Structure 1
């Protein structure tokens, strides 16, 4: 295996370190007050994350014939790494939307800046300052993502081929975010609504479009791109379903968020939609009430989270989500086989599918 393939997350991180240093230095010098915001974004981007989206982009490029020894390889790494800045924007804003207090075991950006406001004794509301700072830092991440992608140094023809994937991905992730808050606001607990959010917010943004982007940068033909989109659509939903299970049943030391936070935030996941539907179909009034009352309750205790877990198991929602994960992962792997990618991309993407959907992910 090529050395870039073997150490891909580290290679992506090094590219990000270089970009963030070069992008941040001019504004730090001209406007030092903005320095803490720049530093916060750099720390957020470099402080963790699985680098999933750049990894899918890289293997899409490799699978479509990209050569890691070519002059274009470093440009592809930069283009792929720019996806981490879109992810930073999405996460920082998501934490504001969800009023989350922690991520990766540390205070979220808006909470950290609210604390700074209180410590300095500044005027106005600390919470409002924290929210405003986080929105602007997320916006900075999105602006820099565009800069990093546009300036990656690849030939114009390659960039033109990849730009439709880039544009679609940015729109789809925002549409998915809006659909997510819309379903919470309207109380839409249907299975159909949960799956629409999963397809836009996770499948398209996390797997499909990064693969599409990478393959397009290699000059892939449409049939190969279509097979990768099929693979990414099923895998992305399976990945989100696993994440939904971990959000209720996961170990906080692994997930980086308190157990039951998805319930407290009112996320209308497929797991909860199935739990409510099955409880109603089975006439299990008690279980239905336990699940329904928990969704969106910020004061939910650990004991009440345990009650929800048991109810979801008892009505069969957990077993059905596990069945769907297995089925969709199987469908994804069949699409991957149909794509007939160059090795080692096919093997690596199959490994990624396993890691993204296994029970301890």
Structure 2
């Protein structure tokens, strides 16, 4: 298990405390509309309790990089975490995922509740509908919290505009991910674009930029943080893809069959397509999106990915992108503590095991 750096652990604790306070103020308001909403409020609280808080921590570090006080932007930091909650709840419906963070996914929780109560209608459809609505509520709370930033209106508008750009990119990236899997399009350049839009910019580059903008950081600093976060974000996503195929389920909290069952065309798969002989590529491709994927097919896919060198190539890609990010970091003029924290985080994101 990879140990998180101290800066991440410390700031994560601060985010957790602030998030608890924020939800304690908002969830009773939600449940107060009608008793039937209490399970939704409870599940949102339970779901948000997990997570590594990487995105809010990076926003806080981006703000500190421009000499801002992180306490002033805890609201926007929490907004990023609730946006992530929205994205995961919806993503699990799209992917029909059974688990998330080592527990049943939101739609499965409400599907089970429907069945236990003996209600009318389709239990699975009900669970999916509630998960979508729960995600939408998290999205609304994210906007509300972003607006609590203790910064000038000009800086708030600048940060909010970038936050909107972030949301556009992640949703577009999710669509491309779905389109590539459904159309069975395997292309290395497309897989890199998806890695950037779906997760890289959203998870690393944009949080840093938003934080710096909220502090009134100059354009050169904002651009430099983006140049650092861009390759690191791609490394983050490709590491996630590797964990999705080869990770330990008790650490990752999700199935290692998921990406195969969903037919995702990740960089790992693109590397295999370039290396495998036609007959072996056909065997691998048959496992992608297989409706009744079993353990034997999953094992075959992993074996092919290892034997052809695709896994090693993806690992090398992660290492190279982290090195690129660190080279950019060396050119930036940052407060010493911020620079050290970003360096430690870069190493962690490139080698994490969960």
TM range (shorter): over 0.9
The reply to whether residue 123 of structure 1 matches residue 120 of structure 2 is yes
1:197 Cα offset (Å):
0.7
- Give the 3 Å change call, closer, same or farther, for CA 118–5 of structure 1 in structure 2: closer
Q: Kindly provide the CA deviation profile for residues 113-146 of structure 1, in whole angstroms up to 9, marking residues without a partner as x.
A: 0111111111110011001000100000001100
2:48 match: 45
The one of 30, 34, 59 equivalent to 1:31 is 34
- Structure 1 contact 263–296 (Cα < 8 Å) conserved: yes
1:106 Cα offset (Å):
0.8
The reply to whether residue 344 of structure 1 matches residue 344 of structure 2 is no
- Structure 2 contact 66–216 (Cα < 8 Å) conserved: yes
Matches within 5 A, 1:176-255: 176-255=173-252
Matches within 5 A, 1:48-59: 48-59=50-61
Provide the rounded CA distance (Å) in 1 between the counterparts of 2:29 and 2:238. 42
Unpaired runs of 5+ residues, structure 1, are 68-72
1:5 Cα offset (Å):
7.8
The one of 319, 330, 333 equivalent to 1:326 is 319
1:285 Cα offset (Å):
3.5
1:70 match: none
TM-score (norm 2): 0.95
2:3 match: none
Provide the rounded CA distance (Å) in 1 between the counterparts of 2:9 and 2:129. 40
Matches within 5 A, 1:279-290: 279=276, 284-290=277-283
Partner-residue secondary structure (3-state), 1:30:
coil
Partner-residue secondary structure (3-state), 1:339:
coil
CA RMSD, 1 decimal:
1.6
- Structure 1 contact 234–328 (Cα < 8 Å) conserved: yes
Matches within 5 A, 1:145-184: 145-184=142-181
1:359 Cα offset (Å):
5.9
Moved over 6 A (4+): 3-6
The reply to whether residue 13 of structure 1 matches residue 16 of structure 2 is yes
2:308 match: 315
- Structure 1 contact 63–344 (Cα < 8 Å) conserved: no
Q: Kindly provide the CA deviation profile for residues 3-40 of structure 1, in whole angstroms up to 9, marking residues without a partner as x.
A: 99872111101111111111121231232211211111
- Structure 1 contact 249–260 (Cα < 8 Å) conserved: no
Q: Kindly provide the CA deviation profile for residues 238-268 of structure 1, in whole angstroms up to 9, marking residues without a partner as x.
A: 1111111111111111111122221111111
- Give the 3 Å change call, closer, same or farther, for CA 6–155 of structure 1 in structure 2: farther
1:257 match: 254
Matches within 5 A, 1:82-121: 82-121=79-118
Provide the rounded CA distance (Å) in 2 between the counterparts of 1:33 and 1:342. 49
Partner-residue secondary structure (3-state), 1:344:
helix
Provide the rounded CA distance (Å) in 2 between the counterparts of 1:245 and 1:28. 40
1:63 match: 65
Number of residue-to-residue matches in the alignment: 349
TM-score (norm 1): 0.93
